[in-house]
Amino acid sequence: MANKEGEISLLTPYKMGKFELSHRVVLAPLTRQRCLGYVPQPRMILYYSQRTSKGGFLIAEAAGVSDISQTGWYGFPGNAVSQTLKVVWAQLRQHSLDRVGLGPSVWEVPNGKSPVSSSNKKLAYQQRSPKKLTIQEIPLVFDDFRVAARNAIEAGFDGVEIHGAHGYLIDQFLKDEINDRTDEYGGSLENRCRFALEVVDAVVKEIGGDKVGIRLSPFANYSESGDSNPETLGLYMAESLNEFKILYCHMVEPRMKSVFEKGDCLDSLVPMRKAFKGTFISAGGYGREDGNKAVAENRTDLVAYGRLFLANPDLPKRFELNAPLNKYDRSTFYTRDPVVGYTDYLFLETTI
C-alpha cells in the first residue's frame, strides 16, 4: 500500500541528534552467537556490512560488560569490542548469568563468582538460585557499564544502547514479579527504577547523553520477569529518562509477550512516546505496512526490525520497492555456522 503524498513513512529522512538518517528502518540488536571465545570474528564484518545503507541506523547485538555477563551463553561478543566491527551502535548488557543465563544445570562461573540478580529467586526449571546483589556490589555493576561504554566508543562505535529489556539484570530490578528487595532498590516503583536510572547516569557521565540509548520492554514477561502495572512502569521510565537527555528510548511493543510470541493487545506505547522528549524507537513484530502506519500516525519516530532484517539484508530497499521478502529460517538463528542463516540470505537483485 502506497503512502499518501506528503505523508511521513519509513522512507522519510530523520535527524536523530547529530545523525542524519536517510530512512527510519532500524536494524534491531539480534543475538546471533557467531563469536568465538567472546571475540567478534571477520564474518561479522560481512554480516553487518550487508545490512548497511546510506544513512541507515544499525544496533549491534548485545555485548557483555563483564566476564560474568558471558557465562552460560556461547557465541556472544565481549566488552573488548573488535575494532573492525565498526557499526553505528553497540548494545550493552550485564550479568546474563543470573536467572536468564543460569540454565537448567549448574554452569561454571568465572573466578569463582556467583550468578547475580535483584533477587535470589530462580526460574522454575533451574537447579541453582542467583545471588541477590548487595548494596555494596551494585556500584560495581554501574562501573562495568561505564567502562564498557567507553570501550565501545574507543572501538569506533557512534554510541551505545543499554539493554534494559527481556528479563536481563536491569529488567529484573524494574519488574515487581521478581524484585522482592526491601532496600532502596526495591518495593516502590521509584525504587525499582533506581537501578536502571543509575546505570544510565553512569554511562551518560562517561560518554555523554548524545551517545546513549536504552531498550526497555515494560509489557513483556521474559523469564518470569513481568510487572503488575507495566504501563505505569513504562511511563515512569520514559519521563525519568528525560533528565539525562539521552538520544533515544527503544521500547518493545506490548503485543510481544515473549521472544517469539506476538498477540493482540489493547495496550500501547503511545503514552511513553509522548512522555519521552528524545527519539522514540518501537520494535515488535512490525512489517512494512504497519511500520509505515506507526510512523505516519506519529506513534514512533523509527521502527526496529529483527527477523525481517536478518533474512533481508537489503530490507529498506525492499520496503521502498514493496518487493517480496525472503523468509527467515528460525533453525539457524543461534547456530555457530559462520555462513548458513547468517551471511547467505539473498539480496533483491539476486532473486529477481
How far apart CA 232 and CA 218 sit, in angstroms, is 9
Which residue type, as a one-letter code, is found at position 309?
Answer: F
Non-local CB neighbours of 140 within 8 Å, separated by 6+ positions: none
All three cell numbers of 144: 562495568
All three cell numbers of 272: 511513553
Which residue type, as a one-letter code, is found at position 72?
Answer: G
Closest alpha carbon to 163 in 56, 30, 19: 30
Of the listed 48, 168, 185, 305, which one is catalytic? 168
DSSP string across 160-226: EEEEE-TTSHHHHHH-TTT----STTSSSHHHHHHHHHHHHHHHHHHH-GGGEEEEE-TT--BTTB-
Residue with grid cell 533453525, as numbered in its chain: 331
168 catalytic residue (yes or no): yes
- Residues with catalytic function: 168
